[in-house]
Amino acid sequence: MNRQWIAIGILVILVFATIFGMAKKSETELGPNQTFTKAICDGTSCADFLIYCSGDKLIKKEQVTGFVVFPEDWKDPRSPEGLCE
CA 80 to chain centre: 20
pLDDT above 60 for 14: yes
pLDDT above 90 for 83: no
pLDDT tens string 24-48: 544 445 557 889 999 999 889 999 9
Nearest-angstrom CA–CA distance, 80 and 41: 11
Please give the pLDDT value at position 51.
92
Please give the pLDDT value at position 34.
87
Are the C-beta atoms of residues 39 and 47 closer than 8 Å to each other?
A: yes
pLDDT tens string 67-79: 899 999 988 888 8
Q: How do 57-69 and 33-42 pair as beta strands?
A: unpaired
Shortest CA distance to 81 belongs to which of 69, 51, 62?
Answer: 51
pLDDT above 60 for 22: no
List the domain boundaries for the chain: 1-30, 31-77
